[in-house]
Amino acid sequence: MENKLKLGFGLMRLPKLEDGSIDVEQVKTMVDLFLEAGGTYFDTAFVYEGSEEAIRKALIERHPRDTFTLATKLNGWRASTKEEAEQQFVTSLERTQAGYFDYYLLHSIRDTNYPIYEKFGLWDFVREQKEKGLIKHYGFSFHDTPDLLDRILTEHPDVDFVQLQINYADWENPAIASRGNWEVARKHGKQVVIMEPVKGGILAELPNQIGDRLKSYAPEASIASWGIRFAASLDGILAVLSGMSNIAQMQDNLSYMKDFKPLSEEEQELIRLVQDDLNSLDRILCTSCHYCEPGCPMNIPIPKIFGAWNMYKQFNKKENAISNYNINCRLRNKASACIQCGQCEGACPQHLPIISLLETVAKEFEG
């Protein structure tokens, strides 16, 4: 399993038109640029709304099937029965018309949902699809501790690869454990697909005082490039996924990944300084994945609230942040409406203490 270009095209945050639908024409241009640069790895999921259909139109209907590889994912914890979970595989095949999946993943495994994947027998299910030739390689994406990863890889030694959240901000963060999980995967001899190398965009827009450190070292390099190159410099990497949302991001990513150079020792040292800078900030490291929102009984716009808080911490302009907060909560509920049911914390791949963070925000913005 080797990709010429280590960059993978993540299809979670595709460009949108004004009416909210995916801008397929722009995606076609992005797909063509990616393939021309030697890219092959495309990553979607059953739960990325409209993404599987969009990639059918932009890629599968326009390019020979053997010129790219396609990954998608089955989300066991969004299904209420084994049949419903298995149906996702059939639906993904129908939506994409890909014929088969080069990479197929059990989606976003963590301690709270691992038993569901076991109960529904989904490991056997994907193995059977592989035997039928409908899946070439299977693996899982993972958001938990190195101990649990070690256990899963011991219980399921035949998985072909794992997908991990790896970025320099979370390298030593115990809630994400980028380093620990990467080490466990490599100990088991598994190749790694990296997700969130720029932490949902957080590491593409660093606060000025931190970003300036990188800019003064390499004025031409984008801030995001440091996150992607950090991830791609590790060994055993099958692909580093970047969830690109427009042509400019694609062009930027290709500019340094086409002829990829791993970080030098001097550059690694600079990243260590940035890690220290980030640790000293009082920001909420929410990636805006929205996994916490659908189940919130109080309809609280959690990631938007955290976005307003980060604006406050980054620019120190409390009035602007409160006004942003009020706009985002206008048609929904504010942080103080939280009834502490805990649903959101069970769904958050970043393991954020959402309840206490909302309390802090409510005190500061509503008090």
Q: Collect contacts of 90-99 with beta carbons under 8 A, ≥24 apart.
A: 91/46, 92/46, 92/52, 93/134, 95/52, 95/53, 95/56, 96/44, 96/52, 96/53, 96/55, 96/56, 96/60, 96/70, 96/72, 97/56, 97/60, 97/61, 98/56, 98/60, 98/65, 98/70, 99/65
Q: Which is nearer to ligand SF4, 115 or 297 (CB)?
A: 297
Q: How far is the CB of 361 from ligand SF4 (least distance, A)?
A: 11
Stretch that binds ligand SF4, among 64-72, 162-170, 244-252, 292-300 (CB under 6 A): 292-300
Among 62, 119, 187, 290, binds ligand SF4 (CB under 6 A): 290
Q: Which is nearer to ligand SF4, 129 or 167 (CB)?
A: 167
The two tokens of residue 254 are: 């290709």
Three-class DSSP category at 344: helix
Interaction of residue 289 with ligand SF4, rule CB under 6 A: yes
DSSP string, 169-215: GGSS-TTT-HHHHHHHHHHTT-EEEEE-TTGGGGGGS--HHHHHHHH
Site track 247-286 with ligand SF4 (rule: CB under 6 A), x = hit: ---------------------------------------x
Interaction of residue 206 with ligand SF4, rule CB under 6 A: no
Neighbouring C-beta atoms of residue 172, cutoff 10 Å: 13
Residues 6+ apart with CB under 8 A from 218: none
Stretch that binds ligand SF4, among 97-105, 117-125, 288-296, 318-326 (CB under 6 A): 288-296
Among 297, 318, 320, 326, binds ligand SF4 (CB under 6 A): 297
Q: Which is nearer to ligand SF4, 234 or 298 (CB)?
A: 298
Total chain residues near ligand SF4 (CB under 6 A):
27
Site track 308-347 with ligand SF4 (rule: CB under 6 A), x = hit: ------------------------------xxxxxxx--x
**Pairing relationship of beta strands 7-10 and 191-195 according to DSSP bridges:** unpaired
Cα three-residue angle 247-290-227, rounded to 5 degrees? 50
Neighbouring C-beta atoms of residue 186, cutoff 10 Å: 15
Q: How far is the CB of 341 from ligand SF4 (least distance, A)?
A: 4
Q: How far is the CB of 277 from ligand SF4 (least distance, A)?
A: 21
Interaction of residue 350 with ligand SF4, rule CB under 6 A: yes
Q: Which residues bind ligand SF4 (CB under 6 A)?
A: 286-292, 296-298, 300, 302-303, 338-344, 347-348, 350, 352, 354-355, 358
